[in-house]
Structure 1
Amino acid sequence: MGWVYLLIAGVLECLWAIGLKYSDGFTRFWPSVVTAVLIVVSLGLLSLAMRTIPVGTAYAVWSGIGASALAVVGILFMQEPGGLVRIGCIGMIVLGVAGLKLFGDTAV
Protein backbone atom coordinates (compact mmCIF):
# COMPACT_ATOMS: atom_id res chain seq x y z
CA MET A 1 0.00 0.00 0.00
CA GLY A 2 3.00 2.27 0.61
CA TRP A 3 3.78 2.46 -3.10
CA VAL A 4 0.18 3.42 -3.89
CA TYR A 5 0.35 6.23 -1.31
CA LEU A 6 3.66 7.32 -2.77
CA LEU A 7 2.36 7.40 -6.34
CA ILE A 8 -0.66 9.49 -5.36
CA ALA A 9 1.55 11.79 -3.26
CA GLY A 10 3.85 12.32 -6.25
CA VAL A 11 0.97 13.21 -8.55
CA LEU A 12 -0.38 15.62 -5.94
CA GLU A 13 3.07 17.19 -5.70
CA CYS A 14 2.86 17.97 -9.39
CA LEU A 15 -0.61 19.47 -8.93
CA TRP A 16 0.37 21.66 -6.00
CA ALA A 17 3.38 22.95 -7.90
CA ILE A 18 1.03 23.99 -10.70
CA GLY A 19 -1.20 25.54 -8.03
CA LEU A 20 1.73 27.64 -6.86
CA LYS A 21 1.90 29.19 -10.31
CA TYR A 22 -1.80 30.01 -10.33
CA SER A 23 -1.84 31.29 -6.76
CA ASP A 24 0.37 34.16 -7.99
CA GLY A 25 2.58 34.21 -4.90
CA PHE A 26 -0.36 33.31 -2.65
CA THR A 27 -2.14 36.53 -3.63
CA ARG A 28 -5.15 34.77 -5.19
CA PHE A 29 -7.39 33.24 -2.53
CA TRP A 30 -8.90 30.07 -4.06
CA PRO A 31 -5.81 28.90 -5.93
CA SER A 32 -3.87 29.43 -2.69
CA VAL A 33 -6.36 27.40 -0.65
CA VAL A 34 -6.37 24.54 -3.18
CA THR A 35 -2.56 24.60 -3.28
CA ALA A 36 -2.29 24.49 0.52
CA VAL A 37 -4.70 21.55 0.73
CA LEU A 38 -2.79 19.66 -1.97
CA ILE A 39 0.50 20.27 -0.14
CA VAL A 40 -0.89 18.91 3.12
CA VAL A 41 -2.45 15.84 1.50
CA SER A 42 0.67 15.12 -0.57
CA LEU A 43 2.95 15.32 2.48
CA GLY A 44 0.49 13.26 4.52
CA LEU A 45 0.52 10.48 1.93
CA LEU A 46 4.30 10.70 1.70
CA SER A 47 4.52 10.19 5.46
CA LEU A 48 2.19 7.17 5.25
CA ALA A 49 4.34 5.71 2.48
CA MET A 50 7.41 6.10 4.68
CA ARG A 51 5.94 3.61 7.12
CA THR A 52 6.94 0.81 4.74
CA ILE A 53 9.39 2.43 2.29
CA PRO A 54 12.82 3.71 3.37
CA VAL A 55 12.91 7.48 3.73
CA GLY A 56 15.58 8.05 1.08
CA THR A 57 13.79 5.94 -1.48
CA ALA A 58 10.38 7.43 -0.70
CA TYR A 59 11.58 11.01 -0.92
CA ALA A 60 13.56 10.42 -4.12
CA VAL A 61 10.60 8.70 -5.79
CA TRP A 62 8.15 11.38 -4.58
CA SER A 63 10.27 14.24 -5.88
CA GLY A 64 11.10 12.34 -9.08
CA ILE A 65 7.44 11.73 -9.86
CA GLY A 66 6.63 15.38 -9.25
CA ALA A 67 9.61 16.75 -11.17
CA SER A 68 9.22 14.55 -14.23
CA ALA A 69 5.44 14.87 -14.41
CA LEU A 70 5.60 18.63 -13.99
CA ALA A 71 8.28 18.93 -16.68
CA VAL A 72 6.06 16.99 -19.10
CA VAL A 73 3.01 19.09 -18.17
CA GLY A 74 5.08 22.23 -18.75
CA ILE A 75 6.13 21.04 -22.19
CA LEU A 76 2.66 19.92 -23.23
CA PHE A 77 0.49 22.67 -21.75
CA MET A 78 2.61 25.65 -20.66
CA GLN A 79 4.71 26.33 -23.74
CA GLU A 80 7.97 25.33 -22.03
CA PRO A 81 10.81 24.12 -24.27
CA GLY A 82 10.77 20.41 -25.02
CA GLY A 83 13.94 19.65 -26.91
CA LEU A 84 15.43 16.20 -27.27
CA VAL A 85 18.02 16.74 -24.52
CA ARG A 86 15.39 17.95 -22.07
CA ILE A 87 13.15 14.97 -22.82
CA GLY A 88 16.14 12.67 -22.41
CA CYS A 89 16.86 14.17 -18.99
CA ILE A 90 13.25 13.60 -17.95
CA GLY A 91 13.66 10.02 -19.11
CA MET A 92 16.72 9.62 -16.88
CA ILE A 93 14.69 10.82 -13.88
CA VAL A 94 12.01 8.26 -14.69
CA LEU A 95 14.63 5.51 -15.06
CA GLY A 96 16.16 6.48 -11.72
CA VAL A 97 12.79 6.33 -9.99
CA ALA A 98 12.05 2.97 -11.60
CA GLY A 99 15.46 1.71 -10.52
CA LEU A 100 14.78 2.69 -6.91
CA LYS A 101 11.53 0.73 -7.04
CA LEU A 102 12.96 -2.31 -8.81
CA PHE A 103 16.26 -2.58 -6.95
CA GLY A 104 15.42 -0.94 -3.64
CA ASP A 105 15.46 -4.19 -1.69
CA THR A 106 18.71 -5.58 -3.08
CA ALA A 107 22.11 -5.06 -1.52
CA VAL A 108 25.14 -4.58 -3.71
Structure 2
Amino acid sequence: MKKEFRIRKNEEFQKILQFKRFYASPSLTLYVKPKNETHARVGISVGKKIGGAVQRNKVKRQLRMMLQECFDFDGSFDAIVLVRPHFNEESYNTNKNYLETLLKKVKI
Protein backbone atom coordinates (compact mmCIF):
# COMPACT_ATOMS: atom_id res chain seq x y z
CA MET A 1 0.00 0.00 0.00
CA LYS A 2 1.16 3.51 -0.71
CA LYS A 3 1.88 5.78 2.25
CA GLU A 4 -0.97 8.14 1.33
CA PHE A 5 -3.45 5.26 1.86
CA ARG A 6 -2.17 4.34 5.35
CA ILE A 7 -3.20 5.50 8.79
CA ARG A 8 -0.22 5.59 11.12
CA LYS A 9 -0.80 8.11 13.92
CA ASN A 10 -2.24 6.98 17.22
CA GLU A 11 -4.54 10.04 17.34
CA GLU A 12 -6.18 9.05 14.06
CA PHE A 13 -6.60 5.44 15.25
CA GLN A 14 -8.31 6.66 18.43
CA LYS A 15 -10.71 8.98 16.54
CA ILE A 16 -11.81 6.15 14.27
CA LEU A 17 -12.22 3.70 17.15
CA GLN A 18 -14.23 6.25 19.16
CA PHE A 19 -16.65 6.70 16.25
CA LYS A 20 -17.82 3.13 17.13
CA ARG A 21 -19.05 2.02 13.73
CA PHE A 22 -17.71 -1.43 13.06
CA TYR A 23 -18.30 -4.67 11.19
CA ALA A 24 -17.07 -8.01 12.49
CA SER A 25 -16.17 -11.43 11.16
CA PRO A 26 -14.61 -14.43 12.98
CA SER A 27 -11.04 -13.33 12.23
CA LEU A 28 -11.26 -9.57 11.50
CA THR A 29 -13.00 -6.44 12.73
CA LEU A 30 -13.34 -3.36 10.52
CA TYR A 31 -13.87 0.05 12.14
CA VAL A 32 -15.03 2.82 9.78
CA LYS A 33 -15.35 6.61 9.97
CA PRO A 34 -16.59 8.80 7.08
CA LYS A 35 -14.52 11.75 5.86
CA ASN A 36 -14.56 14.35 3.08
CA GLU A 37 -11.36 13.51 1.21
CA THR A 38 -11.05 11.93 -2.22
CA HIS A 39 -9.51 8.59 -1.24
CA ALA A 40 -9.88 6.07 1.56
CA ARG A 41 -7.17 5.23 4.08
CA VAL A 42 -6.60 2.03 6.03
CA GLY A 43 -4.78 1.20 9.26
CA ILE A 44 -3.84 -2.28 10.45
CA SER A 45 -3.69 -3.30 14.09
CA VAL A 46 -2.39 -6.69 15.26
CA GLY A 47 -2.40 -7.39 19.00
CA LYS A 48 0.06 -9.43 21.03
CA LYS A 49 -2.42 -12.29 21.38
CA ILE A 50 -1.65 -13.21 17.76
CA GLY A 51 1.93 -14.25 18.58
CA GLY A 52 5.47 -12.96 18.59
CA ALA A 53 6.85 -10.15 16.47
CA VAL A 54 7.62 -12.42 13.53
CA GLN A 55 4.06 -13.81 13.45
CA ARG A 56 2.51 -10.33 13.78
CA ASN A 57 4.62 -8.97 10.91
CA LYS A 58 3.61 -11.93 8.75
CA VAL A 59 -0.06 -11.21 9.47
CA LYS A 60 0.41 -7.53 8.57
CA ARG A 61 2.10 -8.44 5.27
CA GLN A 62 -0.75 -10.81 4.43
CA LEU A 63 -3.36 -8.15 5.25
CA ARG A 64 -1.62 -5.56 3.08
CA MET A 65 -1.71 -7.97 0.15
CA MET A 66 -5.38 -8.76 0.78
CA LEU A 67 -6.17 -5.03 0.86
CA GLN A 68 -4.31 -4.41 -2.41
CA GLU A 69 -6.24 -7.22 -4.09
CA CYS A 70 -9.77 -6.38 -2.93
CA PHE A 71 -9.80 -2.71 -1.82
CA ASP A 72 -10.00 0.12 -4.37
CA PHE A 73 -9.31 3.16 -2.08
CA ASP A 74 -11.94 5.22 -3.92
CA GLY A 75 -14.29 5.62 -0.95
CA SER A 76 -14.53 8.64 1.31
CA PHE A 77 -13.80 6.96 4.64
CA ASP A 78 -11.02 5.89 6.97
CA ALA A 79 -10.88 2.28 8.14
CA ILE A 80 -8.98 0.24 10.70
CA VAL A 81 -8.62 -3.53 10.41
CA LEU A 82 -8.23 -5.25 13.78
CA VAL A 83 -6.98 -8.82 13.67
CA ARG A 84 -8.57 -11.37 15.99
CA PRO A 85 -6.76 -14.47 17.33
CA HIS A 86 -8.87 -16.70 15.05
CA PHE A 87 -6.94 -15.26 12.05
CA ASN A 88 -4.10 -17.77 12.44
CA GLU A 89 -6.46 -20.75 12.38
CA GLU A 90 -7.94 -19.90 8.98
CA SER A 91 -6.35 -20.08 5.53
CA TYR A 92 -5.32 -17.05 3.49
CA ASN A 93 -8.29 -17.43 1.11
CA THR A 94 -10.81 -17.73 3.94
CA ASN A 95 -9.45 -14.59 5.62
CA LYS A 96 -9.51 -12.79 2.28
CA ASN A 97 -13.18 -13.75 1.83
CA TYR A 98 -13.94 -12.41 5.32
CA LEU A 99 -12.26 -9.12 4.41
CA GLU A 100 -14.17 -8.86 1.13
CA THR A 101 -17.52 -9.38 2.88
CA LEU A 102 -16.65 -6.73 5.46
CA LEU A 103 -15.71 -4.25 2.74
CA LYS A 104 -19.01 -4.92 0.94
CA LYS A 105 -20.90 -4.07 4.12
CA VAL A 106 -19.32 -0.62 4.30
CA LYS A 107 -21.70 1.78 2.60
CA ILE A 108 -20.84 5.42 3.23
- Same fold flag (TM > 0.5): no
TM norm structure 1: 0.31
Larger Rg: 1
TM norm structure 2: 0.31
